[in-house]
Amino acid sequence: MHGHDSTSSPVGRLVAQSLTGQLSRRDIMRRGAALGLSAPVIGMILSAQSRGAMAQDATPAADQETGWSIVMPEGLRTDLDGARVRAVLAAAASPDRDWLEVAIQKFNDHTGAAAEFVPGEESATDRLAIYNQQLGAQSPDNDVYQIDVIWPGIMAVHAVDLNQSLADLAALHFPRIVENNTVNGALVGMPWFTDAGLLYYRSDLLEEYGFEEPPLTWSELQEMAQTIQDGESGDNPSFRGFVWQGNAYEGLTCNGLEWQFSNGGGRIVEPDGTVTINNPQAIESFERAASWVGTISPDDVTTYNEPSTLNAFAPGNAAFMRNWPYAYSVTQAPDSPLVGMVGVTQLPMGDGEGAQHAATLGGWQMMVSKYSPNQDAAIEFVKYMCSPELEKAYTIERSHSPTIGSVYDDPEVQELQEFLARLKPVFEGGSVARPSTVTADLYNSASIAYFSRLNQILTGQADAATAVGEIEAELLDIMAELGY
């Protein structure tokens, strides 16, 4: 009847068979890739196939209004009477923005304040540059700033000490993160949500190639990644074993710290100010990472950041991925081809002495500016946003990992964010902090010295021992400037 029968073309056949349930998700991906379909197209076929099933077991959260889970914390002031609180939180295009605007509205309704959402820069580096310009000029324009976990040392001179007013609230948060926010006894930022490096793996592929458990050590990961890559690359030449962040930027500092710390190679600069980077275990861990480039990882991996890593993993072109928790919800979105095929676990560890699992600590805190004309109202706003009630709501609706232990144990969180709740040990104790508190306002210089040379090791421009010697020399210079 129709001039063009959809089942006469291979693509049409694939779609038809998918919709009638004759093909598994894996078959669809395989055959879609073989037909040269792009990842988004395969994703569309998969989501069309799974839409019926998905609609039935969608979580109740999906139908709720934004902010449905917010419960007003007790003990907030209600006499803020139009006090302005300009809070620099997420970026303008952030998917969290709607939720934040609703939360702010509820705060205003309850306390009478006039808090408003001020969008921040998308990239953390740019954002720090702007913060430095505003705060360096002692600008009273903004009252609350969302700050990265590595900035307390840099921001300390501009921050109100929250220990004066919110010590009780701070006691509820993970001590390790509170400690990271404490500079010379002053609490620079209140922990808001946390992040940690995680290992993502394709549970379906591990099973197919006969691996029962995800890898515990880096050697196991290399072996599994190589086996799976060898098996898959016949059908899909761009399939890779392991993708991670190798570009010369802050993300490489996070990856590098995980490699060396998990191999018993210390944490670059120890909390007492000793520079420990130049040790055989750290060098060995960097050599191992360099050996991945062009074998189990693409050569391009030395230009990857988080989104490009996800671009390789999310369409099904990689067996393992190192990334932050946010990546999970992306791989499990209704239109993702990997729904139900992704496992998450802690990153592998080395084989040598002192080896242990390590995940670099990330996450964001809230700081009150010393130059704010409305410090009381701003502190009240921080008290509200970082309360157990709001952290729970942010966790449930936006799948961020809370910084308060009891939130992980909450039955509702365990039901709706099972993946995060299971990873509580990683967020609570398994994470290693970058040496940002000890290097204070020179942290960026330390990190640049580290990731620039590390990138040279990975691209083969320098051998690990020489480059590590250069990092050490630069770090010693920096520590000397700080008075160590």
Give least dist CB 317 to other proteins, A: 7
Give least dist CB 143 to other proteins, A: 18
Locate 25 and state its tokens: 């998700």
Burial class (CB in 10 A: 0-12, 13-18, 19+), 215: buried
CA atoms of 454 and 459, how far apart (whole Å): 9
Give least dist CB 385 to other proteins, A: 24
Locate 210 and state its tokens: 């006969």
For other proteins, which is the closer residue by CB, 136 or 340?
136
Give least dist CB 365 to other proteins, A: 17
Give least dist CB 245 to other proteins, A: 12
Contact 362, 254 (CB under 8 A): yes
For other proteins, which is the closer residue by CB, 164 or 461?
461
Contact 479, 275 (CB under 8 A): yes
For other proteins, which is the closer residue by CB, 183 or 413?
183
For residue 87, which of 113, 119, 135, 110 has the smallest C-alpha distance?
119
For other proteins, which is the closer residue by CB, 66 or 295?
295
Locate 333 and state its tokens: 């979105």
Give least dist CB 404 to other proteins, A: 30
Token pair 């970026």 in the structure block, residue: 91
Give least dist CB 157 to other proteins, A: 6
- Residues in CB range of 379: below 8 A, 6 or more apart: 160, 162, 165, 166, 368
Interface residues with other proteins (CB under 8 A) are: 125, 128-129, 132-133, 135-136, 154-155, 157-158, 237-238, 247-249, 298-303, 312, 317, 441-442, 444-445, 448, 452-453, 455-456, 459-461, 470
Give least dist CB 449 to other proteins, A: 9
For other proteins, which is the closer residue by CB, 215 or 315?
315
Query: What letters, b where the CB count within 10 A reaches 16 and e where it falls short, cover 156-186?
Result: bebbbbbeebbeebbebbbebbbebbbbeee
Beta pairing, strands 359-368 & 186-187:
unpaired
For other proteins, which is the closer residue by CB, 245 or 263?
245
Locate 422 and state its tokens: 């299971």
DSSP tag of 334: T
Locate 87 and state its tokens: 């809070």
Contact 259, 286 (CB under 8 A): yes
Q: Please report the DSSP string for 13-38 in residue order.
A: HHHHHHHTT-S-HHHHHHHHHHTT--
Distances (CA, A) of 351 to 219, 253, 483: 8, 21, 36
For other proteins, which is the closer residue by CB, 166 or 475?
475
For other proteins, which is the closer residue by CB, 372 or 455?
455
Give least dist CB 302 to other proteins, A: 5
Locate 131 and state its tokens: 């913060």
φ/ψ of residue 319, rounded to 5 = -90, -40
- The tally of CA atoms less than 13 A away on the side-chain side of residue 157 is 10
Give least dist CB 187 to other proteins, A: 18
For other proteins, which is the closer residue by CB, 118 or 128?
128
- The tally of CA atoms less than 13 A away on the side-chain side of residue 432 is 27
For other proteins, which is the closer residue by CB, 156 or 169?
156
For other proteins, which is the closer residue by CB, 38 or 406?
38
Distances (CA, A) of 316 to 11, 39, 240, 295: 19, 8, 10, 18
CA atoms of 110 and 35, how far apart (whole Å): 57
Give least dist CB 292 to other proteins, A: 13
